[in-house]
Amino acid sequence: MSRNNSVGSDGFVSHRRAAAAGFTPGGLDPRGMSLDEFTKHLDVGLRKQHEQSAAWDFEGLVAFLDGVAKANPHQHITGSVGNPELLRLALQIYQEDPASREAFLEYATTSDLMRPEIARHFFQLSINAMVHWLQTHIPLSSTPGDFSQADDRLNLVRLAFQSGHTGTNELLEEAYRCVALENQLHGVAEVWFRTTLGDHDAESFERATRSAIRGASRAEADGGSPLNVRFVVGMRKMWQYTASATQTGMPVDAQALGLVTMLGRLRDGDAQTAGMILGVDSVGTDTGWRPEWQAPARTMAASQGMHVAMHFGEAWRPGELPATLLRLETLVRTGDIRQLDNSNAIFAIRDTTNPVQAYSDDEWNEIGVLQVSVFGLLIGRGIGLGINPTSNDWLTRSLRQREGWRLRHHNQPVTPGDASVI
Ligand SMILES: [Zn+2]
């Protein structure tokens, strides 16, 4: 398998076209350059441009990045689970696994999606009727602002993915195969799955992970163009709506340490599996979560050479932006992380055009100080910052309206002299 034209776990990067003016490291061939070198040269180019001009050549930067092979370092399979074939496989699991079925019905009824009298007979319906019910109740093509609700609704299928039942193997293999192929069709040379495989209990984790890897490998082998697939396995921040009773109530630290141990064991096995398991991530809501939690697991993963990514500060309860930034600062200061994703909290700036203002002048000052501090720590520690502009926009739309802020433009510096947001 070719490793050319990819930003990969092996740390090499190359690009096809000559870089745009301002971003070209003079006389250097970026092919075969390590990821660290690439980042450094990009940063130097951006700083030079920042010094020379008050207005940024943002288009030049985009043109430069266009020359780099397409990599997708942030792929969740959840957006693709509305496929009827996958829904059929999920329903089969509910039919055969009482624990998952109960969790599904409990979620559906407590979320007011299904009346209790329907729930009692739901699994006596025809398979097509059940698939249809799922398709109507998972609003995949949601409008902006309903993003978190849409994500919550995916519990209707997520519970099947989390099941320890053997039918889950087929579901996982098919799901990861489909999404890997979708990436390949879009010309992606490398995809990193932000996966919830870590939701599986010790008994089913290895089987489930091998199924997902098998599905992705089949896509790598069957597809027309070279594709590298990597897995970044999520440690669940809080346990809600899990199919496995053993997971409920287990301290998140112990759960996360167990996950890292299992990943280490898998990486000690065959070389192909080892190459595909890139590291760990975090998944789930931030509400009520403390950055100190799972710190031992993040440290252990880093010490084993795993990539440690985090989702944090995506959304918060109204009024909690300063508190979220405080926790983020703790996380970045004390955590062993290499990459921070979807951290909308550091891009929030006051929108004076909004009549609703959740924060006072003093609070906005505090927010600004914390953002500068976090950004400085990210730069100082070389922690990559991942943004997903469309989903971040959707995810925060209703929160922005309720709190009176907007997302900082990505070419607008957070601190004077720190040109790079990439
Ligand atoms: Zn994500």
Spatial contact of 344 and 396, defined as CB atoms under 8 Å apart: yes
Mean pLDDT of 154-164: 89
Q: 283-322 pLDDT, tens per residue?
A: 888 888 889 889 999 999 999 999 999 999 999 999 999 9
d(Cα 232, Cα 281) in Å, to the nearest integer? 6
d(Cα 396, Cα 406) in Å, to the nearest integer? 9
| CA of residue 187 to ligand 1 center, whole Å | 20
Spatial contact of 12 and 35, defined as CB atoms under 8 Å apart: yes
| Domain co-membership, 22 together with 44 | yes
d(Cα 170, Cα 207) in Å, to the nearest integer? 11
Looking at the 3D structure of the chain, how many domains does it have?
A: 2
| CA of residue 386 to ligand 1 center, whole Å | 9
Residue that is written with structure tokens 């902006």 in the block: 144
| Domain co-membership, 63 together with 86 | no
In a domain, 231, yes or no: yes
Which residues on adjacent β-strands are paired with residue 349?
Answer: 406
| CA of residue 263 to ligand 1 center, whole Å | 20
Query: What is the reported pLDDT for 170?
Result: 94
In a domain, 60, yes or no: yes
Mean pLDDT of 45-67: 69
Query: What is the reported pLDDT for 5?
Result: 35
Q: 361-383 pLDDT, tens per residue?
A: 999 999 999 999 999 899 888 89
| Domain co-membership, 168 together with 254 | yes
| CA of residue 392 to ligand 1 center, whole Å | 10
Residue that is written with structure tokens 């802020």 in the block: 405
| Domain co-membership, 89 together with 36 | no
Q: What secondary structure does DSSP assign to 277-302, as a single string?
A: EEEEEEES--TT--TTTTHHHHHHHH
d(Cα 193, Cα 180) in Å, to the nearest integer? 9
| CA of residue 44 to ligand 1 center, whole Å | 29
Query: What is the reported pLDDT for 21?
Result: 42
Residues in Cβ contact with 110 at an 8 Å cutoff, skipping those fewer than 6 apart: none
**pTM across the whole model:** 0.81
| Domain co-membership, 62 together with 110 | no
| Domain co-membership, 23 together with 84 | no
Structure tokens belonging to residue 142: 């949601």
| CA of residue 53 to ligand 1 center, whole Å | 35
Which residues on adjacent β-strands are paired with residue 233?
Answer: 195, 280
Q: Which of 227, 262, 297 is the last residue of a domain?
A: 262
| CA of residue 351 to ligand 1 center, whole Å | 26
| CA of residue 194 to ligand 1 center, whole Å | 6
| Domain co-membership, 25 together with 166 | no
Question: In 223-320, which ranges are continuous DSSP H helix?
Answer: 252-267, 271-276, 295-303
d(Cα 18, Cα 29) in Å, to the nearest integer? 9
Task: For residue 235, give the amino acid letter.
Answer: M
The phi and psi torsions of 338 (rounded to 5 degrees) equal: -110, -20
How far is CA 328 from each of CA 150, 171, 192, 297, rounded to the nearest angstrom? 25, 35, 23, 18
| CA of residue 76 to ligand 1 center, whole Å | 6
| Domain co-membership, 107 together with 253 | yes
| Domain co-membership, 228 together with 206 | yes
Range with lowest mean pLDDT among 140-144, 283-287, 403-407: 140-144
Residue 171 domain boundaries: 80-262
| CA of residue 74 to ligand 1 center, whole Å | 6
Residues in Cβ contact with 152 at an 8 Å cutoff, skipping those fewer than 6 apart: 111
Query: What is the reported pLDDT for 12?
Result: 32
| Domain co-membership, 64 together with 173 | no
Query: What is the reported pLDDT for 54?
Result: 58
Question: In 335-415, which ranges are continuous DSSP H helix?
Answer: 361-381, 389-403
Q: Which of 262, 284, 307 is the last residue of a domain?
A: 262
Mean pLDDT of 392-396: 87
Instruction: Check pLDDT > 80 for residue 245.
Output: no
Q: Which of 206, 227, 262 is the last residue of a domain?
A: 262
Q: How confident is the model at residue 242 (pLDDT cuts 50, 70, 90)?
A: very low
| Domain co-membership, 183 together with 51 | no
| CA of residue 273 to ligand 1 center, whole Å | 22
CB atoms within 10 A of CB 141: 7
Q: 203-227 pLDDT, tens per residue?
A: 889 999 999 999 999 998 887 778 8
| Domain co-membership, 64 together with 117 | no
Mean pLDDT of 14-30: 43
d(Cα 98, Cα 87) in Å, to the nearest integer? 17
Q: What secondary structure does DSSP assign to 41-97, as a single string?
A: HHHHHHHHHHHH-SS--HHHHHHHHHTBPPEEEEE-GGGGTT-HHHHHHHHHHHHH-
| CA of residue 234 to ligand 1 center, whole Å | 10
| CA of residue 421 to ligand 1 center, whole Å | 18
| CA of residue 282 to ligand 1 center, whole Å | 9
Query: What is the reported pLDDT for 125?
Result: 96
